[in-house]
Amino acid sequence: MTVPAKTPVGLEELRALLVRLRGPRGCPWDRKQDPESLKIYLLEETYELAEALDREAPNDIREELGDLLFLMLFLCQIYEERGAFDLSQVMEKIQEKMIRRHPHVFGEVKWRKPEEVVQGWQGLKAEEKPDQSPFDSIPAALPSLLKAHRLSQRAAALGFDWPDIQGVLEKVHEELGELEEAIKGPDPSAAREELGDLLFALVNLGRFLGLPAENALRNANLKFLNRFQHLLAACRRKGVAPESMSLEALEALWV
């Protein structure tokens, strides 16, 4: 196997690699791929990068960034082959967009606070797409907690929001009470609806705290998994199966 000599690698080198992989003497699997088949890998790699960021693991983050970058270049290559656009046009478009969205840096606008920047961005987006609803650009496939965050964020930008966090806390308590009542009732669908309302209220609480619920829950999942792995390791050291132990004994191992 001939491995190319190590040289500094940039976007052009990766692009040349893709051209070879997609060429007549390249890889059958790579030649077969299209945007539809790559979507699942794009989602997987995005989540793998998010997990690496949660772990604050630089080596893993570097690797996952590379995987995600390669997939984006892969998609660019496919669309270039189709005559739709190429990598330089993608980069030119995002450069123009970022300059346009930062008039406080590249122009005379005076946005000094992060909140002013966000509000200004919303105004610019409305000017760019005057016929578009504030919610049209929110992807339908977003995870539900993240989508709820974006929906409430857009509504808040239009003035539909609580004046302070106390109002959100009261809403959370209200929805929790309604869920408790629904659980006691005869209609299972009522509990489902009230649980959804409670989750939506909690998402808004996270928004007020500057803590997206999607991130908070992902961190909670990771914490639970780590603690449960410690519990399982303790069971193995004791030579007992967790399912054979009482809840009290398991809780004693929960650290």
Q: Which two tokens stand for residue 5?
A: 């000599």
Instruction: Tell me if domain 11-89 and domain 158-211 are identical in fold.
Output: yes
As a CATH number, domain 11-89 is: 1.10.287.1080
Residue 53 CA: distances (Å) to CA of 47, 50, 77, 245: 10, 5, 28, 35
Q: Tell me the mean pLDDT in the region 146-150.
A: 95
Residue 126 CA: distances (Å) to CA of 14, 19, 105: 37, 39, 20
**Gap between the Cα atoms of 187 and 195, Å rounded:** 13
Q: How many CB atoms lie within 10 A of CB 107?
A: 10
Q: Phi/psi of residue 27, each to 5°?
A: -100, 125
Average pLDDT taken over every residue of the chain: 92
Residue with tokens 């990068």: 49
For residues 17 and 30, is the Cβ–Cβ distance under 8 A?
A: no
Furthest C-alpha separation in the chain: 71
Which residue type is seen at 178?
Answer: E
* pLDDT for residue 42: 94
Q: How many CB atoms lie within 10 A of CB 179?
A: 19
Query: Which burial class, exposed, middle or buried, applies to 76 when counting CB atoms under 10 A from its CB (0-12, 13-18, 19+)?
Result: buried
Q: What is the pTM of this model?
A: 0.70
* pLDDT for residue 117: 87
Q: What number of residues does the chain have?
A: 255
Q: Phi/psi of residue 131, each to 5°?
A: -90, 0
Q: Does position 1 have pLDDT exceeding 70, yes or no?
A: no
**Gap between the Cα atoms of 235 and 232, Å rounded:** 5
Q: Phi/psi of residue 85, each to 5°?
A: -165, 170
Which residue type is seen at 58?
Answer: P
Q: Which two tokens stand for residue 191?
A: 């509990």
Which residue type is seen at 109?
Answer: V
Confidence class for position 246, pLDDT limits 50, 70, 90: very high
Domain ranges of the chain: 11-89, 158-211, 218-253
pLDDT, tens digit, 9 for 90 and up, residues 55-97? 899 999 999 999 999 999 999 999 999 999 999 999 999 999 9
CA atoms within 13 A on the CB side of 239: 0
Q: How many CB atoms lie within 10 A of CB 103?
A: 14
As a CATH number, domain 158-211 is: 1.10.287.1080
Cβ within 8 Å of residue 218, ≥6 positions away: 50, 51, 54
pLDDT, tens digit, 9 for 90 and up, residues 177-201? 999 999 999 998 899 999 999 999 9
CA nearest neighbour of 242 among 230, 224, 255, 226:
230
* pLDDT for residue 197: 98
